[in-house]
Amino acid sequence: MSEQYFREIAVFGLGFVGLPLSLCFTLANCKVTGVDVNAALVEEINSGITYHQERYRGIPIQEILRRELARGSFKATTDPREALENVRDIIVTVGLPVVAGQPDPGPLVACLESIAQGLKPGDLVLVRSTLVPGMMREVVKPLLEKSGLQAGRDFYLGYAPERIAEGRAFEEFVTMPVVVSGINQESLEEAAELIGLITRAEIIPASSFEAAEVAKLIENISRDVNIALVNELSTVTQALGLNVFEVVRLANTHKRVKLLQPGPGVGGYCLPNAYHYLAPAARKAGLQLELMPAARRVNDAMPRRVADMVLRLLPVPPAQARVAVLGLAMKDYSSDCRFSPAVKVAEVLQESGVTVRAFDPVVPPTYPFQVDSLEKALDGAHGAVILARQQGLPPEDPTVFARFLDGAGPFVVDAKNAYPQPAARELPVRIVPL
């Protein structure tokens, strides 16, 4: 190992967690090799290209990536053997896709099998993925032990689920408390020491893998349920002619109330999947969950509800209508459009016959209905729907809509409270809150 680095680390998975995590370690004077099965992604990263919307002390992740590549402190590869050869610390950030409501362990299994082929005595494997309860002990450990080594005796095995929010990754890897567990005390201590290289926050030991696994899931599920509550509340406020965002703001003045914000749905990789990771453990225990699946149904229904609001406001039949969709990311100030409710709104409108033109300045070209400017999205549209905020989107001055929207009674469905009432009532364009 080169003496100029504290440690050499292999990070498996270079997505929205793995890439900023890798760069956090390089900023702490470690040398990192990132591994991903996506050859095109690896090529982009090694060319200094990423679409992540992350910053460290005001410096964009793109600049950090190019600097660390030039220093030689970071590189990406598709070859696990290259990454594992000289390291003692291995971090796994590969997730579990949910397909038809069922977690798919396939990508994680393939990752762990590749690690097992290069695992050495004294190595630490630290898993940071969100898992189905029991998976560390019942899946991860046996797969790694295919190496012929025993966890807790020949190599260290730890679990510390990540807790970051996209857009704040660098900050939260440093400041967010970390829950850590291990197959034994020695593994927990090794994992905590590695995490301690980048965090200044409290490192909290869990008594078992299972406690850490469930704690991570309930963190996400609690937000999913909270958002479902206010999304369902918005049906009531709409029927009463009230603004749901105002009602939430007023309720939150109570010192023991902390409602989240309603919106067009819940997207991304974490919150929508968390219940589906917990459900197998509940079924295995013979339990029938009630509240959590109900919350999922409420949030899953939101994109169609928002699309139906747009359809009701159209001054012409859907087949003759054009609608501007503003924002495609799964949440504000993100380039991540995985499981995005905004995309589902656009798709429902298209299925209804509407011509959709969508603009998001940071989501890479992915969908046939995307256009590359706000003007192209709005020009000649009968209405618009605001589904995510980005820098400059939606326009600060809502009178801009009047210059582009066409026909009688142009409207903007505001699902993000970009233009709070009552000021919106004085505009030349009708602003309709969620």
Please tell me which residue in 270, 331, 344, 416 is annotated as part of the active site: 270
Q: In degrees rounded to 5, what are phi and psi of residue 69? A: -60, -45
Q: Tokens 């992350």, residue?
A: 54
Residue 275 CA, chain-centre distance (Å), reads 15
CB distance 221 to 292 below 8 Å: yes
24 catalytically annotated = no
216 catalytically annotated = yes
- 123-133 in b/e form (b: 16+ CB < 10 A) is bbbbbbbbbbb
CB distance 188 to 158 below 8 Å: yes
CB distance 90 to 157 below 8 Å: no
Helical spans, DSSP H, in 156-253: 169-175, 185-195, 209-239, 244-251
CB distance 266 to 299 below 8 Å: yes
Residue 294 CA, chain-centre distance (Å), reads 22
Helix (H, G, I), strand (E, B) or coil at 351: helix
CB distance 122 to 142 below 8 Å: no
Bridge partners of 76, per DSSP, are 34
Per DSSP, which regions of 81-214 are E strands?
89-92, 98-99, 102-103, 124-127, 156-159, 178-182, 203-205
SS3 content of the chain, % helix, strand, coil (to 5): 40, 15, 40
Please tell me which residue in 30, 31, 141, 216 is annotated as part of the active site: 216
Count of residues for the chain?
Answer: 434
Which residues belong to the active site? 216, 270
